[in-house]
Amino acid sequence: MTDHEKFNNLLEEIECSREEFADFIGIKYTSLTNQLAPSKELPRWAKSALIIERKQTEQELCEFFKFFRDYGERLIGLTIDEFVKTYIKHKNEDHEPRRGSKKDI
């Protein structure tokens, strides 16, 4: 996958059109389209967005696996969806669960 494709996928993931993105970063849509033309090298600002996204994904995966390491044994029997929802709830509540039952997480 090219950097251009990765950047386009990133915009799709955050549900942001090119028009919205151009407005957000304070440039005209035509300028954005020109800068992101597949025939040109991806601009540095777009590459930096890809690097930040990759680093955030890596950090999120590390946090998820640390949660799995610390609490996974107590959550045996949950489906993958239930486990992920438990992780997200835990993360959003930003608290340290007590060692104990599933209810404590």
**Each residue of 26-46: pLDDT tens digit?**
999 999 999 999 999 999 999
> What pLDDT is attached to residue 93?
83
User: Per-residue pLDDT for 94 more than 80?
Assistant: no
Q: Are 100 and 73 in contact (CB under 8 A)?
A: no
Domain boundaries, the chain: 1-42, 57-105
Residues 71-97, mean pLDDT to the nearest whole number: 84
Q: Which residue has the higher pLDDT, 93 or 100?
A: 93
HSE-CB at 81 with a 13 A cutoff on CA atoms is 0
pLDDT-wise least confident of 10-14, 25-29, 62-66, 69-73: 69-73
Report angle CA 68, 71, 74 to the nearest 5 degrees: 120
